[in-house]
Amino acid sequence: MAEKPKVIEKPDVLERPDILKPQAPAPLVAFPIEVVVPEGRQQTPAVGQRASRADGRLHGLGQTKYIDDMYFPNMLFAKIKRAGIASARIKNIDTKEAEAMPGVVAVITGRDIPCNSFGPSLKDQPVLADTRVFHAGDGVAAVAAVSEQIATEALEKIKVDYEVLTPVLDPLESLKLETPGVHAPSANIYGHKVIKKGDVEKAFAESDHVFEGTFRTQMVEHVPLEPYACIAQWDANGRVTIYSTLGRITLGRADVARTLGIPMSRIRIVATVVGGNFGGKNEIRAEPAMALLSKKTGRPVKCVFTRSEEFTSSTTRHPLIMDYKTGVTKQGKILGRKIRLVLDGGAYCSWSETTLGKACILSAGPYNIENLYAEAFVVYTNKTMTGAMRGFGAPQVCFAYESHMDDIAKALGIDPLEIRLLNAFDEGSLSPTSQKLHSVVVKESLLRAAKRFGWNGIGDGVGNGNGA
Partner 1 sequence: MKRRGRGMACMWYPIGFTVAANPSAAVVKVNEDGTATLLTGTVETGQGSLTILAQITAQELGIATDDVHVVSADTDATPMDTGAIASRTTYVTGNAARMAAEKAKLTLFEVAAPLLGVKPTQLEAQDHKIFVKGFPQRNMHIGDVANHARVVSGQPPIGSASFNPETLALDPETGQGKPFGTYVYATQIAEVDVDDETGEVEVIRVVASHDCGTAINPMLVEGQVEGGVAMGVGFALEEEMLFDAQGRHINPNLTNYIMPTSLDTPDIEVDIVDSYDPTGPFGAKGVGEPTLVPTAAAIANAIYDAVGVRITSLPATAEKVCKALQAKREQQPKQIGTGAALDGAASINTAVQ
By CB under 8 A, the residues from 65 to 84 that bind partner 1 are 84
* Binding residues for partner 1 restricted to 46-65, rule: CB under 8 A: 46-55
Nearer to partner 1, 179 or 297 (CB): 179
| 115 vs 169, beta carbon nearer partner 1 | 169
φ/ψ of 122, rounded to 5, equals -80, 135
Contact pick of 354, 371, 377, 385 for partner 1 (by CB under 8 A): 354
Least distance to partner 1, CB of residue 212, Å: 4
Question: Of 267, 286, 304, 385, which lies in the binding site for partner 1, with binding defined by CB under 8 A?
Answer: 267
Minimum CB distance to partner 1 smaller for 146 or for 430: 430
Rounded to the nearest whole angstrom, what is the least distance from the CB of residue 159 to partner 1 in the complex? 20
Q: Strand 371-379 vs strand 88-94: parallel, antiparallel, or unpaired?
A: unpaired
Name which of residues 399 to 428 contact partner 1 (CB under 8 A): 399, 401-403, 406-407, 410-411, 416-417, 420, 424-425
Which range binds partner 1 by CB under 8 A, 11-19, 109-117, 296-304, 458-466?
458-466
Nearer to partner 1, 146 or 210 (CB): 210
Work out whether 137 is an interface residue with partner 1 (CB under 8 A): yes
189 binds partner 1 (CB under 8 A): no
The C-alpha atoms of residue 55 and residue 66 are separated, in whole angstroms, by 12
Amino acid at position 411, single letter: A
Q: Distance between CA 352 and CA 181 in Å, rounded?
A: 18
One residue of 301, 302, 392, 414 binding partner 1 per CB under 8 A: 392
Whether 91 and 299 have beta carbons less than 8 Å apart is answered as no
Rounded CA-CA distance 410/79 in Å is: 54
* Binding footprint of partner 1, residue count (CB under 8 A): 136
Could you say which of 361, 379, 385, 414 contacts partner 1 (CB under 8 A)? 361
Nearer to partner 1, 101 or 165 (CB): 165
Q: Is 299 in the site for partner 1 (CB under 8 A)?
A: no
Q: Is 229 exposed, middle or buried (0-12, 13-18, 19+ CB in 10 A)?
A: buried
Q: Which of residues 241-260 bind partner 1 (CB under 8 A)?
A: 246-251, 253
**Residue from 8, 9, 44, 74 in contact with partner 1 (CB under 8 A):** 44
Phi-psi region of 357 (alpha: psi -120 to 50; beta: other; left: phi over 0): alpha
Residues 96-115 touching partner 1, rule: CB under 8 A, are none
Nearer residue to partner 1 within complex by CB, 183 or 268: 268
Residue 269 interacts with partner 1 (CB under 8 A): yes or no: yes
- Please identify which residue in 37, 61, 172, 184 interacts with partner 1, judged by CB under 8 A: 37
> How far, in Å, CA of 228 to CA of 247, rounded?
11
CA distance 171 to 318: 11
In this chain, which stretch among 8-16, 19-27, 171-179, 310-318 interacts with partner 1, using CB under 8 A? 310-318
**Listed ranges 19-27, 91-99, 106-114, 360-368: which one lies at the site for partner 1 (CB under 8 A):** 360-368
Taking CB under 8 A as the criterion, which residues in 6-35 touch partner 1?
Answer: none
